[in-house]
Structure 1
């Protein structure tokens, strides 16, 4: 990727630089990199860069031009009771993805567990809300109403099966509440870690997070999307030729692979990895 956009140039930016000059330099570099490249229109790639520049990178550059490489958390929920801290230049998600992957994965697993319990509750509710179901006469299936029904049938030996369903429902709702509290606690603990980490971020770390993780990752993803679009177009064209000239499928497949390999070869020469 470094052969397309000068990463060192971006990381060497200092307070007071002119953002318009920088976008001029990197856009020219990108256009030169894609000049005379078969199958790829350099202006399509250029448009992806400019879209990202207008949406995000331009504002980031002006922040750096004004304040240097500073990443400070501020309240983005102004005017409201709840305080939510984040940073425009360096969002907390980037810090989490680089430094707290284990914590993030643990929270994601808790969310999966919560969804599983929620699904079980929904399925049970649907199953027993039909006519003659144990929840059929309830205005609303809720923990309160289920507990109320349990009291009504307490001691009724004929209602043993119904009691089993109601108790199972309550166990699931209790598990769901516990899971929600665990998630809330895990998110709160992670947030504290992240806030603390911002205080120790070095300028070099901020540059890596902003340039590599935020800017270059997005630009590379957008360019790959463009190349995938080209590849899909080639595939469609080969299929059209196959239908029109009754080209044997095996030969058409070979042509598709050859053209795609040509695209990927250009990518490798320009620093992209497709593994």
Structure 2
């Protein structure tokens, strides 16, 4: 099968899920313009113009209430009318480099793999960090499902995974205020999942696959002595964030605080016996029952 569809596009459907991502959508759609054969958005009832932008740019949009990342992605893969022979998962805050675009097109042209993995590079406070992680983001349509977890979902793909060149840029947040809002939601979801005893994305095994080892660390992390010192060392030294100077130091420190927040929130939930309710953070519409000034 040719790696280029009609009009020079790559025969791949890019799928995104989103809630209030208007600040990212124009840029990510510019990044995909003229490259992807199809673009889909599963919107969780955004209130910031996300749907307006996507529709104006010709994206196929559906809306569905968000109950968890794994469930939302499995809905997208099973219910969206994807016609392209390949499918790619993309977050609105991610951008494909030209090298990655060429690498994906070439791999589809070769037709030797059933899924594609490549590096994702993190950007933080407007700067690229020397931190890369391998991610599996593209597969033959119909060959993938996601672990059914609330957060930190993982793709489960049938077939051979091919490693390709090129980077996916992860522009995590436009500013720290937005980043902290995201981490507040994430840590609450992680703590609530731990309180319920939800199953992990894979069986935790110290000598298993890479994913199983990560789940083993996740299962036992809160029992480890000096865990936050070790976590900072891992991010700052092992991953090489020190090379980004003060930004790398800030990122390494704040990553530790994310894990600490999960632990504190879980402790609070066990103590109070309840999960906090998300509160409305901004002004609403005027109430017609009272006089306005």
TM-score tier (shorter): under 0.3
Q: Which has the higher strand share?
A: 2
Instruction: Give the TM-score normalised by structure 2.
Output: 0.18
Q: Which has the larger radius of gyration?
A: 1
Q: Which has the higher helix share?
A: 1
